[in-house]
Structure 1
Amino acid sequence: MKINLLFVIDSLDCAGAEKSLVTLLGLLDYSKFTVDLMLFAHGKELEKLVPKEVKILQPLRYTNFSNLRLNDAIIASITKSEYRMLLSRLKYSSNLRKKKYSNSQKARLFWQSTSKVIESNPTEYDVAISYAQGVPTFYVAEKVRAKKKIAWVNVSYRLAATEKQFQKKYYDQYDKVVAVSDTTKEIFLETFPAYSKLVNVVYDINNPHFINEMAIIGEGYKDNFDGIRILTIGRLAHQKGYDIALDACKKLKDAGVPFRWYALGKGPLKEEIKKNIEENELTDHFILLGVESNPYPYIKNADVYVQTSKFEGYGIAIAEARMLNIPVVTTRFDAVFSQMIDEKNGLVVDMNSEAVCEGILKIIHNHSLRESIIKYQKAEKKGNLEEVEKVYQLIE
């Protein structure tokens, strides 16, 4: 009899955890498993890459309700007696307007506001997996029946006392916790030392065959630029350090380097970043490309891949650049040395714009260093498909 699995994640937008999940789903043996996938937001780019064997569950009633325009939501609450949903939505929106919150705070506010109107999953599963911290973790803990529950943690998870207290009662419902790097595990256990016997490390899974195939199909840059192409991939959010990237971009411009710096991603800082670009006259130098479901032609045709993150659980885009033999310049975030070897497969620099700029210039101008990095990358082990076996051991 097949093992009945449920995976839960916020959405399949183009980001690291989402790409890792899609890769894992593409590698599962469907003669052994039946798989349901639960999303809190639908219609994102990576959904088209989900294997046909996976059943994407219908949206939650609250998901559909929250997507209505406010006037339509008010009408629906009257005609369909959805008053509790309307109050939950208004409560969450009101809380968000009070101040700026971290992702963990937003997840708590969302669940506190809406959990009572979110229906439970009617199926009992052999294994239920929340593939991201926050709302997926709360949902699987409270709304899903399963013989075994596994929580994935894919960021450096330092929590304030309020968030720690709130989340502990949900993690108490899990049989296993998976961290995506040794550093992520260490940081998680700083917050939740009581779970030391539950935590396993499974790295974000990268499939080099898939990435190389995707890199030669589809379109990449369309501007016919013949200078140095720099690429960054990441959500337009504080975590990814775009303030550092933009200041480094200005320094490169002042240095007279013929370059364009491209960014793939979307997020809450889009307007702020656009304003910074205009104010610093970087319109021709820092290019926001939005979201692409296939970023690999962009990576393959970049001269330098740059990651200015302030924290990461692993850094899947760095791994993808390495697999395509593109020199990397990255900030020294917590988990960076789980895959980077400074001056071997790229440069690891201090978390400031001067260091990032110097690292890029070093890659551009020091041809022997650049060639030695590419040579090292070509000889590196590509991908980590063996991590799937760790997933099987957790599940079976």
Structure 2
Amino acid sequence: MSTSTDKSKSILFHYPVFNTGGAEKSSLRMLKAFVAEGWTVTFVLTVPGGNMEHLIPPEVTVVHLRSKVAGQIFFAAKGVGRLKAIPDLINYIWQRIVQKYREHLFKNQHFDVAAALLTGMSTNFIRKGVNAKIRALWIRNDLKGIDKSGEIAQSIRAADSEIDWYICVSETAKQSLVDAVPNTLGKAHVVYNLLCPDEMKALADERPAPYQMMDSHLECGKTKILTVCRLSDKAKAIFRMARICKQLKDKGHDFVWFVIGDGPDRDKLKELILELDVDSHLVLLGRMENPFPAYKAADIVAVVSYYEGLCGIVNEAKVLGKAVVAAEVSGIHEQLIHEQTGLICENEEGAIGAAIERLIIDSKLRKALAESDYSQVIVDDAAKMQRLCNLFDVSK
């Protein structure tokens, strides 16, 4: 990257918990980029224990507002179970006290920029607990998709007077923000997620694809479909993924669909896979720190989500030169041109199945999509960092 920044500049990012996901991966790349630009970076996590924390660069100061996770058992329990979970509630209350104390310690610290990195998270800490010249909120989602109740929009509206910039990861995300909270128009800017394409390609060459090490019957001429996602049906539509797989199997197509990721609905998905008798066609590989060798070996990368912000799977697949089929989600038309750089289909079970089937059958189309170009606006990390540095320039 070619931007230049005064080394005395400081930035604080706030995030709830640093578990594996698209937002976390893009945030990690951004942490590294700000470090490379000479910024002093502080990363404040509400709770510890996220499975991506060990990847945070050592130059970044990591602070946990709570010393451990508590409260999940109590709030998930019902009836008599809540009585048994009272110790967990007490622990939760204590952790909130710890959080208030640790937040107070930031009152005496000064930052050029403080930013909350997740759309639905509270901005109270960066607004009330941190002395910062510029305050920003990342908008990673289409609010029409994730905020049916209007609760997130209301929270943004209430805090708007104290937020200087909204960093939107796509034009669609920006438009959804402005539609929901019109006062944000003059403060909303689109900066696509950093990709680090060279790093992705290097990671893809780091080791063999995980499914090349599985039983050989999975490799003999079968079309390899890949999806990388959090195993949560609410956003990622993993149950309909299983049903689509069943439809493709029943039509006699020779394929294996690999899924990388973990999440709260993993067990339910495994049950559905057995119920639909697609365990030989839909293979769960679990969470992987480095999924890029799997991308490299895939024939098709499929996005079946109900909604996205700007889909990281599409970015990763296109950087690695893969044919992509994607349900119509937020920002997808900023990433793909239908029939030219990918297939975009209606966000509906039958349409997704038909689009995947088309790519299984038509190897010539598959090859053309894999070899197609990708938007330089999305790929150009140096321009994105220059944009962020300009927005965060406190001397202006």
Count of residues in correspondence between the two structures: 364
Q: Residue 109 of structure 1 corresponds to which residue in structure 2? A: none
Measure, in 2, the Cα distance between the counterparts of 1:31 and 1:312: 29
Structure 1 residue identity aligned to 2:228:
I
Among 85, 91, 95, the alignment partner of 2:94 is 85
Paired residue secondary structure (1:368): helix
- Retained in 2: the 8 A contact 1:6–1:37? yes
Measure, in 1, the Cα distance between the counterparts of 2:105 and 2:143: 27
Q: Residue 182 of structure 1 corresponds to which residue in structure 2? A: 171
Structure 1 residue identity aligned to 2:118:
A
- Retained in 2: the 8 A contact 1:142–1:170? no
Q: Residue 171 of structure 1 corresponds to which residue in structure 2? A: 160
Measure, in 2, the Cα distance between the counterparts of 1:186 and 1:49: 33
> Do structure 1's residue 200 and structure 2's residue 213 form an aligned pair?
no
Deviation at 1:368, TM superposition (A): 1.9
- Retained in 2: the 8 A contact 1:121–1:144? no
Measure, in 2, the Cα distance between the counterparts of 1:307 and 1:326: 13
Among 67, 70, 85, the alignment partner of 1:66 is 70
Structure 2 residue identity aligned to 1:349:
C
Q: CA RMSD in A?
A: 2.8
State the percentage of identical aligned residues. Answer: 26
Measure, in 2, the Cα distance between the counterparts of 1:120 and 1:289: 43
Q: Residue 256 of structure 2 corresponds to which residue in structure 1? A: 260
Measure, in 1, the Cα distance between the counterparts of 2:336 and 2:104: 42
Among 187, 193, 199, the alignment partner of 1:210 is 199
- Retained in 2: the 8 A contact 1:65–1:73? no
- Retained in 2: the 8 A contact 1:156–1:188? yes
CA distance 1:246–1:76, shift in 2 (3 Å): closer
Measure, in 2, the Cα distance between the counterparts of 1:270 and 1:351: 22
Q: Residue 324 of structure 1 corresponds to which residue in structure 2? A: 320
Q: Residue 234 of structure 1 corresponds to which residue in structure 2? A: 229
> Do structure 1's residue 339 and structure 2's residue 335 form an aligned pair?
yes
Paired residue secondary structure (2:13): strand
Q: Residue 153 of structure 1 corresponds to which residue in structure 2? A: 139
Deviation at 1:130, TM superposition (A): 0.9
Q: Residue 249 of structure 1 corresponds to which residue in structure 2? A: 245
CA distance 1:278–1:50, shift in 2 (3 Å): same
CA distance 1:116–1:27, shift in 2 (3 Å): closer
Q: Residue 49 of structure 1 corresponds to which residue in structure 2? A: 55
> Do structure 1's residue 119 and structure 2's residue 108 form an aligned pair?
no
Measure, in 1, the Cα distance between the counterparts of 2:105 and 2:317: 38
Structure 1 residue identity aligned to 2:65:
L
CA distance 1:182–1:65, shift in 2 (3 Å): closer
Measure, in 2, the Cα distance between the counterparts of 1:68 and 1:279: 30
Worse overlay, 352-361 or 336-345: 352-361
Q: Residue 80 of structure 2 corresponds to which residue in structure 1? A: none
> Do structure 1's residue 132 and structure 2's residue 141 form an aligned pair?
no
Paired residue secondary structure (1:6): strand
Deviations, residues 119-142 of structure 1 (Å, cap 9, x unaligned): 345222111011112235343233
Measure, in 2, the Cα distance between the counterparts of 1:121 and 1:306: 46
Deviation at 1:293, TM superposition (A): 1.2
Measure, in 1, the Cα distance between the counterparts of 2:22 and 2:88: 38
Deviation at 1:275, TM superposition (A): 2.0
Deviations, residues 259-282 of structure 1 (Å, cap 9, x unaligned): 211112222222222221121112
- Retained in 1: the 8 A contact 2:117–2:138? yes
> Do structure 1's residue 354 and structure 2's residue 350 form an aligned pair?
yes
Q: Residue 19 of structure 1 corresponds to which residue in structure 2? A: 25
Matches within 5 A, 1:264-303: 264-303=260-299
- Retained in 1: the 8 A contact 2:327–2:344? yes
CA distance 1:277–1:188, shift in 2 (3 Å): same
Paired residue secondary structure (1:129): strand
Measure, in 2, the Cα distance between the counterparts of 1:297 and 1:254: 29
Measure, in 1, the Cα distance between the counterparts of 2:176 and 2:354: 30
Paired residue secondary structure (1:325): coil
Deviation at 1:313, TM superposition (A): 1.2
Structure 2 residue identity aligned to 1:66:
A
Measure, in 2, the Cα distance between the counterparts of 1:83 and 1:32: 37
Worse overlay, 314-323 or 235-244: 235-244
CA distance 1:176–1:349, shift in 2 (3 Å): same
TM normalised by structure 2 equals 0.84
> Do structure 1's residue 393 and structure 2's residue 390 form an aligned pair?
yes
CA distance 1:30–1:173, shift in 2 (3 Å): same
Paired residue secondary structure (1:24): helix
Among 40, 53, 63, the alignment partner of 2:46 is 40
- Retained in 1: the 8 A contact 2:226–2:300? yes
Matches within 5 A, 1:372-391: 372-377=368-373, 381=376, 383-385=379-381, 386-391=383-388
Q: Please list every run of 5 or more consecutive structure 1 residues that lacks an aligned counterpart in the other structure.
A: 90-113
Q: Please list every run of 5 or more consecutive structure 2 residues that lacks an aligned counterpart in the other structure.
A: 1-6, 75-83
